[in-house]
Each structure stands twice: as C-alpha cells, then as structure tokens.
Structure 1
Amino acid sequence: MEDMERLRFWSGKRVLVTGATGVVGLNLVNTLEKYDAEVVALVRDWVPKSGLLGKWLYGESSVKLVRGELEDYNLILRTLAEYEIEYVFHLGAQTIVQVGNRSPLTTFKANIEGTWNLLEAVRILNQYSDDIKAVCVASSDKAYGASTILPYTEDMALCGEHPYDVSKSCTDLIAQAYGKSYGIPVCIARMGNIYGPGDLNFNRIVPGTIRNIIENKAPEIRSDGTPVREYFYVADAVDAYLTMAEKVSSGGLAGEAFNFSSGEKFSALEFIEKISGIMKSNLKPVIQNTSRNEIQDQYLSIKKAEEILNWYPKHSLENGLKQTIQWYKEVLK
C-alpha cells in the first residue's frame, strides 16, 4: 500500500499499541504517528534510552502514554473504553527465551494472562458497540515448537515445550478462540527474529554483536553456532502488522494466523559473520554454547500472507543490516 493510501486509511484512527517500547512497538508507534493516527501507547517499564527513537516517550508528540501492566484487566478495559480505541496492536510480552527459563510464572502472566485480559475486554466492549475493528496479536515462530518438517506453515500444530514457547502457543490459541468463538476481529502474527533500529536489548544477537564490534570486542554466540533462524527487518514487521489490521477490519479473517518472514535463513555463526563482513571486522566470534531450551532450526512459509494479504517483505538482509548498523553507530557514539 502506497504511503498516501495508507495515510488516508490511518489518519484519525484511534489505535492502542501494547509493548510500545519494544523494537516493533517503537517503530510501529512512530509509523502510525507519521500517518496521523491517534495513538495510545501502553508502557510498563520506563526505558530511558528508548527516546533515542521515539520522542513521544518524552511527551513531544500527540501520542498518549498509559503506564501499567497487561496483567491489570481493569486498566486494559478502562484504556480501551476511555480512549474509544478502534484498532489494537498487542505486542506487549516477555519476549526473551532465557528469561522465560529463569522466570516462567512472570512470563506466563504477562504473555498468557495479558492476552486473555485484552481479548476479554474487547469482547465485553464489542457487546455494546462495534468500535474495535481489528486486534493484531503478536505470536511467534516459537509457538510451533520444534519440528523436523520445515518451513512451518499455518496449519501445523502449536507445540511449544519450554516456558517462552508455551506462552506463545497459548497466546496464539487464545486469540484464535476469541476470533472463532466470539467473532472478535483478531488476527495473529507469527514472526521470526526481528531486528532493526530501536532494539535496546543487547542480549539479542543483532544489538549485542553490533555493539561488541563497535567496541572492538569479539561477538558472542550463546549457542553452538548451528541453530538456523530467519532474521526479519523491523520495517517489514511494521508493514505486516499494518497490512493485517487493514485487511481484518474488512471482515472474514477473525481468528486467522499468518506467518511473516524474510525468507533468508542463516545459522547463528553465518549470521554473525554476515554482520562482521558488512562492518569490515576481523574479530572472531566466541562460541559460548551456554543456551538451553532453544529450538534448533526454525523458518517460516509466508505463502498464506502472500496469497490472502498480498504482503511481501521489502527489505533484503543486506539492506536491513546496513540501516541497522548505521543507527547503532549513531546511538553508541
């Protein structure tokens, strides 16, 4: 969809974004603000450096900030009702596999309870009006669990085994249930590893590797270097969410899930070598082999998104990484 057409669609729309300080949330809020949407951002923890990408975090825009947690049902209900929300992007979650291993209960509460709180609030409000036109829920490729059959397709079972993966399987199934059982206009996005400007979690492979190289330190690989993943540029992820919301609001897609990915897959070692090559670094990665409960190989088929949503990724890995590296060079001066 061209910018002008998208501007006409989103201008004046009342939108709630949960998880607004995450890498996708920050970029999505900025994009919606550019398209003149009336944005409400739900923020749990204050992340000081997030302002490097989103001035709205400092009150320098029309974006409205709501401080609170997804586990607070009354807060979610109040926010949806008082701001008369029409579109919801539910990105808020505990997103780190290793944190899930260390703290499963907080991961379950944020990811599972947070999702049913949001969808139940939507269900209640939609009994009185049809104001809420679309709810886009962030699932994950991790929701599928480990499989010897790849790429994942949307008709495959959701079989998460470890805490984070299970939380996403449950999130996904709950969203499907609200769509199929109650007609809530909800769609589910299953994406792989997202990278790009605005990701300030340096435990992730992209921010951590780029920062280490900038500081002339060897990149670190938590696994043995062999797990295969797709790496998905954040601008394409934002485009996927907007496309999904635009399509589901026209009807017929309640409870549907879609895979979104780049189509380019690499082992962890290959991926770090790719970053090193773009940054012209000769530093050799240190393979720590300390990660646990990680799925070995994961990649997605995006045929359904192509056929039903007419969605395709617009950025190659090379292009996305160059823009991302430049952003970190400016931020980490």
Structure 2
Amino acid sequence: MHGWNNKNVLVTGCTGFVGRHMVQELLRLGANVTGLVRKPPSFQGMNNVYGSLGDFDVIKQALVDNRIDTVFHMAALAVVGEAHLNPMAAFETNIRGTWNVLEACRQASVKSVIVTSSEKVYGDLAIPPYVESMPLLGRHPYNVSKSCADLLATSYFHTYQLPVCIVRCGNLFGGGDLNFTRLIPQTIQSVLKSKPPVLHSEGSSVRDFFYIEDAVMAHLLAAEKIERFAGEAFHFSYETPLTILEVVERILKNMNSDLQPMILKQMSNESNQYLSAKKARDLLGWKPVYDFESGLRRTIEWYRNNKDHVIH
C-alpha cells in the first residue's frame, strides 16, 4: 500500500469491526483520518466529527472542512437478523445513509469513494460463485438495502462521474469482532468457555470467509486504482468456500479442542453463497496476504489474548 501519507481520508462506520481496522491501518500509513462517530471511539489519532449517516449537512461540512480526498463508506446496519426485525432502520441506514454520503461527496468534489458492500446483494437465487456482472436480486430487508446502496453508487458514477468503487467481500472475520452472534467469534467463545459450539442448522450451507486484514488491504487497493476503475465493483475472496460445519471443525482443530458441536437442525439450510475474485486478480493484480487457515490462527490468537472481552 502506498500514497497514503498525509492523505485526507474520511471513514464512516469507524467504530465498527471493519471500520476500526481500516482506521488503524490508515493511521499506520500516515493518513490524516477523520471519522464520523456518534460517540468517542476507543483509539486515538483520529479527528472526530460527531454525527450520523442521517446528518447530510454534518457529512458535507466534514468533507469540506477537512479537505477530504478519499471516503471509505463502511457504516451500515450489518446484522441480517436485526434488519429483518427492523427494516426501517436498515433502509434508513443502508439506503438513505449511502445517498447522503454520495451526494455530500459529489458536492464536495471528493476524488475517490469506496463503498463497502456484501455478497448478499445477489439474493438467494443466484448460482455461485458470484461474479460482478450478475444482477442484484436482494429480496429480504438486509439484502435489498445493500442492493439499493450499490445501485445508488453506480448511479452516481454514471450520472455525475463521481469516482466510486464498490468492494464486496464475504463473511469477514478477525480479531476485535465482539459480535458473538457471528459464527467464528461465537464458536471461539464457546471453546474458551469449554462449552460445545451450537449449530442451529445442519451446517451444510457453504459460505465465503475472508480475513479482516486482507479486507482492509483490498479496500486500500481499490482506492489506489480508482482512476482506472471508477464505477466498477470488485469481489475479494480466498475462493475456498467452506460449509458452516467445516468452519466450526477447523476452529476446534486449531484450538486443540475435543468438544463436539451440537447440531440442533432447528433451521433450514440457506442457499450457498460465495464469490469469484477473478476480476480483482486480473484487473487490479490483487493477491491476498493470508488464507483462511492463517487468518483463522491469527484470529484465535487474538481472542485467547483478550479473554476479558470474550468470556463474560
């Protein structure tokens, strides 16, 4: 990664799992980072602008006052179940919030905008591996909200030539994720508590898992290449899809645990969802630094070293 020293960058969602890692890496690279926050973040070195995605004037003023060159739009209501229970919140955050960011960037003449998306934009009917040319067919609240956000980003490129790029990854994992409803943190937590991990489905659904540090570097690469590839979407993936049960078994193996997962079969299996990263490899020259196994080992090490955050 290069060219970030003294670059003025704004990150939305900077107190979330992905955003925190992004801010830390940008600060390490010497960028001048501004974060849109609703409460003080847990790290120093960032310029805080207090507001939410619903505050258009606050966003625009932050871009102008800080002479922002690059925006990483990472804020989202990102829990699928929460979006299902509260669709209005999902649409307000993921759709209205995205057009507020895009319009503010347009009016402030921001030079590059990277929108963090999801494999969920393709809905449940597409046949994997997903490629970027597939139609966006989200049907349920979270999927629809992310599909709409991507369409808005594409619209701003084609209509206003806003230099925007969409980054889609699968299920992100890594140290610092304290959302224990997610598979990997939940399973590691169970093992650290000497409790068998619980699967509510049969565990046969196939998913795409991607280590957070590779995801951060993928976003930086997309921003660095935006002059040539504005308006494009890119997938980043290890292209080694795994079943839910396989992920749990690999965690147990890496933690030297003889616990056996409890498979309750209370939920029907969802469709398989995973990505092709061929476009990113061919056009961006992208190569991951890690793979699933090495990322998983680093993740387990983080949770072991931070048991106070994990066992409660």
- Residues 61-114 of structure 1 show CA distances to partners (whole Å, capped at 9, x for unaligned) of x21122221111111111111111110000000101111111111011000000
- 1:303-322 superposed matches below 5 A: 303-322=278-297
**Is 2:254 the partner of 1:278?**
yes
Q: Distance in 1 between matches of 2:209 and 2:79?
A: 16
- The amino acid of 1:318's aligned partner reads E
The code of the aligned residue for 1:19 comes to G
Shift of 1:45: 5.3
Which position in structure 2 is the counterpart of 1:129?
A: none
Structure 1 length-normalised TM: 0.89
Residue in structure 2 matched with residue 146 of structure 1 by the alignment: 124
Amino acid at match of 1:183: Q
Q: What does residue 267 of structure 1 align with?
A: 243
Deviations along 1:100-145, one digit per CA (max 9) or x if unpaired, are 111111011000000000001111122xxxxx22100011000011
* Contact 2:40–2:48 (CA under 8 A) maintained in structure 1: no
Contact 1:13–1:37 (8 Å) recurs in 2: yes
Residue 226 in structure 1 maps to residue 204 in structure 2: yes
Matched, 1:300 2:278: no
Query: Please, which runs of 5 or more residues in structure 1 have no aligned partner?
Result: 57-61, 127-131
Q: 1:40-79, aligned counterparts within 5 Å?
A: 40-44=34-38, 51=42, 55-56=43-44, 62-79=45-62
Cα displacement (A) at 1:14: 0.4
Give the alignment of 1:34-45 within 5 angstroms. 34-44=28-38
- Secondary structure of the 1:76 match is helix
Q: Equivalent of 1:118, from 101, 104, 111?
A: 101
- 1:289 Cα shift? 4.4
Q: TM-score, normalised by structure 2?
A: 0.94
Shift of 1:170: 0.5
Does residue 19 of structure 2 align to residue 25 of structure 1? yes
In the TM superposition, what is the alpha-carbon distance from 1:44 to its structure 2 partner?
3.1
SS at match of 2:106: helix
Partners of 1:222 and 1:17 lie apart in 2 by 35
Aligned length, in residue pairs: 308
2:154 is matched with which residue? 176
Gaps of 5+ in 2: none
Please give the secondary structure, in 2, of the residue aligned with 1:170.
Answer: helix
Tell me, what secondary structure is at the counterpart of 1:42?
strand
Partner of 1:14: 8
Q: Which residue of 2 aligns with 1:59?
A: none
Instruction: Look up the match of 1:239.
Output: 217
